[in-house]
Amino acid sequence: MNAPLAETLSAALLVASLGWAVLRPAGRSEALVAVPAAAALIALGAISPEHALAEAERLGPVVGFLAAVLVLAHLCDVEGLFTACGAWMARRAAGRPRTLLTAVFVLASVITAVLSLDATVVLLTPVVFATAARMGVRAKPHVYACAHLSNTASLLLPVSNLTNLLAFTASGLSFTRFTALMALPWLVAISVEYAVFRRFFAADLPAAEPVEDTGPAPEVPVFALVTVACTLAGFVVASAVGVEPAWAACAGALVMAGRALARRRVTPAAVARSAAPGFLAFVLALGVVVRAVVDNGLATALRHALPDGTGLLALLAVAAVAAVLANLINNLPAVLVLVPLAAPAGAGAVLAVLIGVNIGPNLTYAGSLATLLWRRVVHERAQRVAVGEFTRLGLLTVPATLVPAVVTLWVSLQVV
């Protein structure tokens, strides 16, 4: 296949794959278009079988990790972790909407960082809805916080987001050094986001006198908390000895699954479904489609757009390009395209890409798969999400969080 035709076909199939993932007619799997698209590109010669296999091998450990974390998060929900979180939020807020927003920010940030952004979107968002209804307050600012923090708060750990895992491998950093470099940008981004939310949703967050919560005290799921803590420790140890973090995540998921199956709280089929095999196939196939786009010209075009070096202005430009690309083609393809181009400049440039592809998607629905998933969760509860309002909030939060996050990354690179 000649180069112009291969470039056009690859781009068209990438758009089709992402469009299907965004719309998901009748709730059908994202993989239904992406997998045939990847197969067609290989069969027609737009990407060589060797390059397709290399991409699948590169993504294999990442996909394995994602499956394990999805299972772990689901089983934490079965153990009652998220129910306990909702009860804690209601007691902490005591009928005060502003305090509830603070509690949601704290919990969503921690859950996103530790159990990944999918746990915040799929499991915490319904709990936030229920907590707001229990308190008799408007749910909108708290639910919007789940969407934004599923992206912004995923900066902290290599395991917080699929994009992080892809960047972590290319950065050459250890688990602890990655976390140390991203800790300050994470804190700053969340703090700025919180300030913007307080101002933007001022009318939905009236001052209120404390009201004692008379609901039952939450039962703390000690086993789930201990397992999650041990899994996090396993990530650190695995990184130190050069083992993929997927093995630590798999160990945590197996421990939780063994307990839940023994107590007959779940079935083997439910555990398998919680791994989202269709979505995993979509991620692998999308990687092949993106590789075809890169091989057929996109890499050359973007190479000229990315500045060299790791100075402050260069890092700001890299993050801006990453944020724009994430909103154009989704953050997962964006990180697959940009990380190999940024890696030669060093870990700082890779982390700047990560800030762009994690914070940038708060601007539009299509920016990240997590936001699309959040939108479905909200619609299932008959709640309206206005495109204009979502975009206005994104226009306020994205630049306000992106710039200080990159500045603090630059400071961290000088200090850590």
Residues whose CB falls within 8 Å of the CB of residue 217, separated by 6 or more in sequence, listed in order: 87, 91
Phi, psi of 156 (to 5 degrees): -70, -55
**22 Ramachandran zone, left/alpha/beta (phi>0; psi -120 to 50):** alpha
Digit-by-digit pLDDT tens for the chain (416 residues) are 777 888 889 989 988 988 888 777 877 888 999 999 999 999 999 999 999 999 898 888 888 888 898 899 889 989 988 888 888 888 888 888 999 999 999 999 999 998 888 789 888 998 999 888 888 889 999 999 999 999 999 999 998 988 998 899 889 898 999 999 999 999 999 999 999 999 999 999 987 777 766 666 667 889 999 999 999 899 888 878 888 888 998 999 999 999 999 999 999 999 999 988 988 898 899 889 988 988 887 777 777 778 877 899 999 999 999 999 999 888 888 898 899 889 999 999 999 999 999 999 999 877 887 887 788 788 777 677 788 899 999 999 999 999 999 999 999 999 97
Q: Which long-range contacts (CB under 8 A, 24 or more apart) does 305-311 make?
A: 306/338, 306/341, 306/342, 306/345, 306/349, 308/345, 309/345, 310/345, 310/346, 310/348, 310/349, 310/410, 310/413, 311/410
Q: What is the pTM of this model?
A: 0.84
Strand, coil or helix: 216: coil
Retrieve residue 400's tokens. 């306000």
